[in-house]
Amino acid sequence: MPKSRVVGGTHRVPGDKSITHRALLFAALAPGRSTVTGALTSLDARSTARVLRQLGAEVSPLRQGTPVEIRGRKRLVRSDTALDCGNSGTTARLLLGLLAAQRFSSRVTGDASLRRRPMRRVTDPLVAMGARVTAGANDGLPLTITGGALQALDWELAVASAQVKSALLLAGAAGGVEVRLTERAATRDHTERFLRHFGFDITVRRGVLTLKPTGQFAPFDITVPGDPSSAIFLLAATLLADRGDVRIAGVGLNPSRTGFLAVLRRMGAVIDEANVTESFGEPLGDLITQPAMLVSTDIAADEVPGVIDEIPMLACLAARARGTSRFVGLAELRVKESNRLELLATNLQRLGANARVDGDDLIIAGRDAPLAGRVVTHADHRIAMAFTVLGRVAGNRIRVDDPACAAVSFPGFDVALAALDQGTR
């Protein structure tokens, strides 16, 4: 009979990836010295730091436990070499918005995975603002963007994407022009919170977001909260354990990022929030939970933008829940670091779970039988972490082919997961 798993203790997760990217970018635009404490030190964050150094900003090394110091400049400078964004879609898309307002040409590229991801959703509206873009055959990276004087933009976003929205807001703020965006669904609002801090007038009415260039970038100090998209893995590992309770301290609780908590609660999780406070306009606090008997749930299409990064872990939890779960409208998962929709279904099937794709929907029938087999990640960090957590269930024998890729967003993931354990009984 498999031994039971007991969890406990107070834990922290790395700094929020979305906030770290934005803090570095805005600091580069602020003449003077800014300090970012608690920044994520992952490969993606280092990609943003690297390209900003190429553009003339001074950015200290990203090291765990050490504040990052950035000396920004009023005008960035042209890089003689291509700006390599690595695997980071956030870096690439937000960088394009920033470059659209700079009076020089830049070559932007990334790794093989990033070069397959769509960029026209960003470059088309930037061209409408006055930037010039020369892209390859697939309209993605590598591409050359020439910025300059921009004009106001009134644009309907074809997809619900915080990256696209942020790129256009960044272009408007850096270029000093008004931007009016119509969103089909609300997405994370970290960029708007930053811009309000700098005095930019931002309003949202009936799905229309308007930025007026009233602000000015100035040096700042920020403490980055823990990333909720990383916290879900420790929460899930706790829910799947047999006994104990766990506190995850200092997690970002921005409502545009915590839709997954509502999903987990619908599935039977009891998750309490404590010590809630605010830093730089961002709410944060502690999340406390314990093991639970999970039940199935449905995720509607309008919920997906708010839980897009947490879908892999939620899907793995659904494989252990009682009943059948249906996740509706997951087309955006096809253009993440991998085709996450197909990869989730294929890996679950390979392990013996009952999962299938129906159009852009994912249907998973939970079961108690042990799961076993090899998970193919295609170097997708969230796939790797979700199935690693699923592999902790007593009786499961799951081997992840590339666990090291977790470092893209969660350095030290294996150590953090092991720290939950209080022993087996």
pLDDT of 3 over the 70 cut: no
Q: Which residues face 34 on adjacent strands?
A: 70
| Strand-pair category, 298-299 with 272-279 | unpaired
Per the CB < 8 A criterion, the answer to whether 338 and 379 are in contact is yes
- pLDDT of 269 reads 98
Averaged confidence pLDDT in the chain: 95
Q: What is the pTM of this model?
A: 0.89
State how far the alpha carbon of 380 is from the alpha carbons of 114, 332, 355, in Å: 11, 15, 19
Per the CB < 8 A criterion, the answer to whether 325 and 297 are in contact is yes
385-407 mean pLDDT: 96
Q: Which residue has the tokens 């697939």?
A: 138
N- to C-terminal Cα distance for the chain?
A: 11
Q: How far is Cα 217 from Cα 229, in angstroms, rounded to an integer?
A: 28
Q: Which residue has the tokens 């890996």?
A: 347
- pLDDT of 425 reads 37
Percent of the chain with pLDDT over 90: 89
pLDDT of 275 over the 50 cut: yes
139-167 mean pLDDT: 95
pLDDT band at 2 (very low <50, low <70, confident <90, very high): low
* pLDDT tens per residue across span 194-218: 999 999 999 999 999 999 999 999 9
At 318, which amino acid appears? A
- pLDDT of 74 reads 87
pLDDT of 424 over the 70 cut: no
* pLDDT tens per residue across span 319-358: 999 999 999 999 989 877 778 999 999 999 999 999 999 9
**Torsions phi, psi of 249, nearest 5?**
-95, 145
Q: Which residues are catalytic?
A: 309
